[in-house]
Amino acid sequence: MGFSFRSSKMKRSELKGIILRAYFDISRKKDYHLLQEIAKRNEEDRKETQDGPVKNLGSTINVHGYKKNARNIIIRFVSRVAKFVIHDKKKRYRAEKLLICALYNRLHLLKYISNKRINCFIWKDDGADKAYIQYQEMMNSVYEKCSLEIIVLE
């Protein structure tokens, strides 16, 4: 299957098919309890950082660092200062999301972007399809190596 981070031969269209079921054999792992603890921590982290499955596809865009331009310099600076001023991580994220949308003249996208992660787009209404295209454009302007994690068919 050629699995790698968020990729496989099927995703790259090297193989065609549908995975109906997957089994993981962890019986050969030395410390089963350690694996359970890791799984529990990951589940708790997902509850903090990811929205539930309703009307979202999870992380839709993979982002790596800000592009170097004037708006992003402002965003990075304000984000760093905010760490000292806004102690609540959720409030700090929402402020950063607001700043990004404001500086890129995309305030209308705020309702579609998760309150937990900027790379999670939520289909809230019939306008979401059009908004997603503008969201992609904004994300490409903000982040380096911005790549789509879902396949968009037209």
Q: What is the pLDDT of residues 102-146, one digit of tens each?
A: 999 999 999 999 888 888 888 888 898 899 899 989 998 888 877
**Which string of DSSP letters, residue by residue, matches 52-74?**
-STTEEEE-EEEEEE-SSHHHHH
Looking at the predicted structure, is the pLDDT value of residue 55 above 70?
A: no
Domain definitions of the chain by residue range: 32-148
| The pLDDT value given to residue 18 | 85
pLDDT band at 19 (very low <50, low <70, confident <90, very high): confident
Per-residue pLDDT at 45: 80
Q: Which residues contact 10 (CB under 8 A, 6 or more apart)?
A: 1, 16, 17, 19
Q: Which of 43, 8, 11 is nearest to 151 (CA)?
A: 11
The pTM of this model reads 0.67
How many beta carbons lie within 10 A of that of residue 47, not counting itself?
Answer: 11
Angstrom distance (rounded) from CA 25 to CA 77: 46
